[in-house]
Amino acid sequence: MIDFDPYCAAALEDPLPMYARLRDEAPCYFIEKRNTWALSRFQDIWDAHQDQEHYTATLGTQPWAIMGERGPVRPMLHHMDAREHGIVAKPLANWFGREALDRFEPQIEQFAREFVDRAREMGQFDVVHDVAWPLASKTAALVCGVPLEDAPYVKQLTEEFQDREPGKIGLTEKGEGAIGKVIEYLLAMIKERRAAGFDGDGMIDMFGKLVIEGDTPGDDLSIAMNMVNFFVGGGSQFPKGFAALTYRLFTEPDQRAEVIADPELGLPAFLEALRIDNPTNSMGRFLSKPHEIHGQKLSPGDGIVFLYASAGRDEREFQNPEVFDIHRVAPRTLSFGVGMHTCIAKGLGMRQGKALTRIFLEKMPEYTLDVSGLEPIRTEYMRGWVHLPASAG
């Protein structure tokens, strides 16, 4: 019988062999050491995302909240169930809807060219830190209404936020300090907007004026935490997805040549990289009602983590899932979640991916990677590379 713990050395180094065994042997697995269940198959996670009867997000969704110390959480968008989530998500279309993305797209293109041109001039660069992460941070600042010149500062703090220590659940002292500095930075902006009566049309003003059933839940810290969700979260996942794409195209030169010849293949290639190398390793929910999955009886209050990186390689959903194929037409994906809690920045991520893939290959079609310098992220939460050294070619 498999013995799985997301924090064991083998899982942090490479969880994929364990995930394959879980899918076959124990698709609903109880992690005894963490007092938490884990789902590893695509269909089970897909169903759980859309099951509002048995699952709740109000007690936390991050893996450290589910597997670690459980306690009260702030009313952030991804901690809301259907009623509250719908009220908050609707006005956010002003920043994440199609019209907003059309408005932002020229600037995203400009940012992408700026960072790709700089990397090409450098000759030797890091795909994560010199291209993808600066783009994501600057785009997040643009969308959130934060001064663009402050994007590098928040990028630095986001990197520190992702610091992990072997054997420790969740944030390190360094990571907690970094997120604290981001919150302090945002609180200063929020106090300024509150003093003005939230009379602007920015995202902070929207949260400050938001009303849910007669209540305005926007105390300064809650507004700041929601902004962290978009500013830090939006700026941290994309770099890993794009790094995965550049790695896959480097190891599959024929497919890289196809994308260079036909830039319209850039988005399908980016989405395929997200499937096979999902940057989100795991998140989850808590049970609100008794539930049975694969013969296992789950009780109210039980935590359950969704192993997205496993679901993206589920043989029951994808043919030859270990093969990177830019022509794969997958009818379903969990790369951005699904249902009510589909990532609200999905469209933004896709626009960035499409633009940066086209521009990166246009400017550096012969790029090479130093695979000896690859440094993977070792966390329960995310997968990908900390560093991806490259040459412009």
The first and second tokens of residue 278, run together, are: 């999902």
Q: What is the pLDDT of residues 193-211, one digit of tens each?
A: 999 999 999 999 998 888 7
Residues in the chain: 393
The tokens describing 76, both together, are 């952030």
Mean pLDDT, residues 41-52 taken together: 96
Instruction: List the one residue out of 81, 79, 68, 42 whose CA is nearest residue 307.
Output: 42
d(CA 118, CA 371): 22
pLDDT tens track for 267-318: 999 999 999 999 999 999 999 999 999 999 999 999 999 999 999 999 999 9
Decide: helix, strand or coil at residue 34.
helix
Amino acid symbol at 1:
M
What is residue 197's predicted lDDT score, i.e. its pLDDT?
A: 92
> With bands split at pLDDT 50, 70 and 90, how would you rate the model's confidence at 72?
low
Q: What is the dihedral of CA 76, 80, 82, 86, to 10 degrees?
A: -10
Give 254-264 pLDDT, tens digit per residue. Answer: 999 999 999 99
The CA distance from 102 to 98, in Å, is 6
Question: For residue 166, is pLDDT > 80?
Answer: no
Report the amino acid identity of residue 261.
Answer: A
CA–CA separation, 165 vs 249, rounded Å? 31
Give residue-wise pLDDT tens across range 226-247.
888 887 766 778 999 999 999 9
Do 362 and 336 touch, CB atoms closer than 8 A? no
pLDDT band of residue 110 (cuts 50, 70, 90) is very high
- Distance separating alpha carbons of residues 99 and 39, to the nearest angstrom: 36
Across the range 33-42, mean pLDDT stands at: 96
User: Cα–Cα distance between 104 and 204 in angstroms, integer?
Assistant: 18
Residues 361, 45: Cα–Cα separation, whole Å:
34
Give the pLDDT of residue 73: 74
- Residues with Cβ within 8 Å of 3's Cβ and at least 6 positions away in sequence, in order, are none
Mind listing the domains of the chain with CATH numbers? 9-391 (1.10.630.10)
**Which among 281, 383, 283, 278 is positioned nearest to 333, based on CA atoms?**
278
What pTM, to 2 d.p., does this model score? Answer: 0.93
Res 45: pLDDT: 98
Q: What is the mean pLDDT of the chain?
A: 91
Q: What pLDDT does residue 216 have?
A: 57
- DSSP H helices, the chain, are 9-13, 16-25, 42-49, 63-67, 82-89, 93-96, 98-122, 133-144, 151-161, 173-195, 203-209, 220-251, 253-261, 266-276, 308-311, 346-363
Q: Which two tokens stand for residue 274?
A: 């997200």
